[in-house]
Amino acid sequence: MPGVSSAPTPWRWIPTLYFGQGIPYVVVMTLSVVLYKNLGVSNTDIALYTSWLYLPWVIKPLWSPLVDLLGRKRGWIVGLQFTLGAALALVALTLPLAGFWQASLAVFWLMAFASATHDIAADGFYMLALPQRTQAAFVGVRSTFYRLAMIAGQGGLVMLAGWLQQRHGGTPAAVVDSWRLVFWLLAGGFVVAAAWHAWALPRPAADVAAPRQAALAREALAVFAAFFRRPDIGRILAFLLLYRFAEAQALKLVTPFLLDARAAGGLALGTQAVGLAYGTVGVAALTLGGLLGGWVISRGGLKRLLWPLMLCMHLPNGLFVAMAVWQPQDLWLVSTALAAEQFGYGFGFTAYMVFMLMVAEGSRPGGGGENPHKTAHYAICTGFMALGMMLPGMAAGWLQSQLGYTGFFVWVCVATLPSFIAAALLHIDPAYGRRDDTAA
């Protein structure tokens, strides 16, 4: 068939595109926490201000139409990757400054907005550049390389920073220089990625700016209104905001807990050890848990398995209480506990992801037809997902400073209760999520 062979194979660009999508998110949400802890910023400030960095992902549905209206998605991807490279270089430049905290935080804000916009462009381009059958075939590839980016960022880069600090004596100057080198490497990597994608990305005919219509704003408002007119919208929003109420608080303090001195209630692990235990072993277990959770739901359906999955997600939080009480020093024991907690988190989080798909598709007991706005409604769900992480995390550092690590992790266990209350109020189609759902 003429013209088929001219299209580049998806293997040429999908792995690098989604690896590049994952790295800036990990840098903004996870690497920044380790960086600031190494540089002596308080837990209260780390939790409060890095939680605000979720905001671009909360509100990205509001400006996503601009990506359709202004230029080609291919151009957005390449331009934003150059922007991310420049932002990463700016972080490296700010770290030696006396006001590094405020300056670097401002750059992380820029990076967060660029990353959220890159997500919109990349996901839209993926749908334009591939036929539906190929899209389905490469969903697993997308997910795998995004997870590999998490391991590389949360594990490999943290381990590299820790190794460089040890090599140069662990002085405050060595800490700054090690992180500067990490961010310079990241900046160079994104410049290379942008150049690669400028050559490797296909040029689908459908990738054109959408016509600017006066009615577009009204149509966008109608899409939002349709989402909020659902009769069960209160229950849906409660579940979206509360399902990770406990985990949102724990997530901001896990890295400080692992790094803090034993006298402060922490485990006194080195930065390199944290990269191995939490960023590599933990993320690998998180990925395995997510894969297993998806398979389990496909066998039994969301309604039947929601509560077992929630228990598997929340019960391992007790491991943090145990570690805070006994403060184990064996790295493999800590790694095992983190792997168990992350596996449970990944396993239980699949229920949340499938629930968002159900909401976006408009599925509910008794049917109701397919939702013509399911893509936009899924984006709205992801915004509430990010909001559910942002708001609880903001106060987590202050709570820990008042309660200590043991009291804080006990509170995290108590804070799982609102998610169970929200789940008890849901109305879920008993058939949704099962592999035979379409035949039912």
3-state secondary structure string, 200-247? HCCCCCCCCCCCCCCCHHHHHHHHHHHHHCCCCHHHHHHHHHHCCHHH
Amino acid 214: pLDDT: 55
Cβ(317)–Cβ(412) below 8 Å: yes
Cβ(359)–Cβ(377) below 8 Å: yes
- Residue range 215-440 forms a domain whose CATH class is mainly alpha
Quickly tell me which residue has 């929200």 as its tokens: 422
Nearest to 198 by CA among 79, 118, 117: 79
Whether domain 8-203 has CATH 1.20.1250.20: the reply is: yes
Quickly tell me which residue has 């449970």 as its tokens: 344
435 secondary structure, DSSP code = T
Burial call 27-39: b when 16+ CB within 10 Å, e when fewer: bbbbbbbbbbbbb
Burial call 175-189: b when 16+ CB within 10 Å, e when fewer: bbbbbbebbeebbeb
What's the CA gap between 393 and 401, in Å, rounded?
A: 14
Instruction: Give the CA-trace dihedral at 57, 59, 65, 67, to 10 degrees.
Output: -40
Q: Using only C-alpha atoms, what is the Rg of the chain? A: 22
Amino acid 87: pLDDT: 97
Rounded average pLDDT per 10-residue block, the chain, 440 residues: 57 92 93 94 93 90 75 91 97 94 95 92 81 68 84 92 89 93 96 95 79 63 82 93 94 93 93 91 89 84 90 95 95 95 91 85 54 73 90 94 96 96 89 56
Amino acid 372: pLDDT: 63
Amino acid 367: pLDDT: 45
Nearest to 281 by CA among 166, 145, 154: 154
What's phi and psi for 6, nearest 5 deg? Answer: -75, -20
Amino acid 233: pLDDT: 92
For the chain, give every domain's residue range.
Answer: 8-203, 215-440
194: which 2 tokens? 């942008």
Give just the sign of the alpha carbon dihedral 106, 108, 112, 113: positive
pTM equals 0.84
From residue 418, how far is each of 60, 239, 287, 414, 421 by CA, in Å?
A: 27, 9, 26, 9, 5
C-alpha distance across the termini of the chain, in Å: 38
- Rounded to the nearest angstrom, the gap between the alpha carbon of residue 263 and the centroid of all alpha carbons in its chain is 32
The contacts of residue 19 (CB under 8 Å, 6+ apart) are 145, 146, 148, 149, 152
Amino acid 7: pLDDT: 65
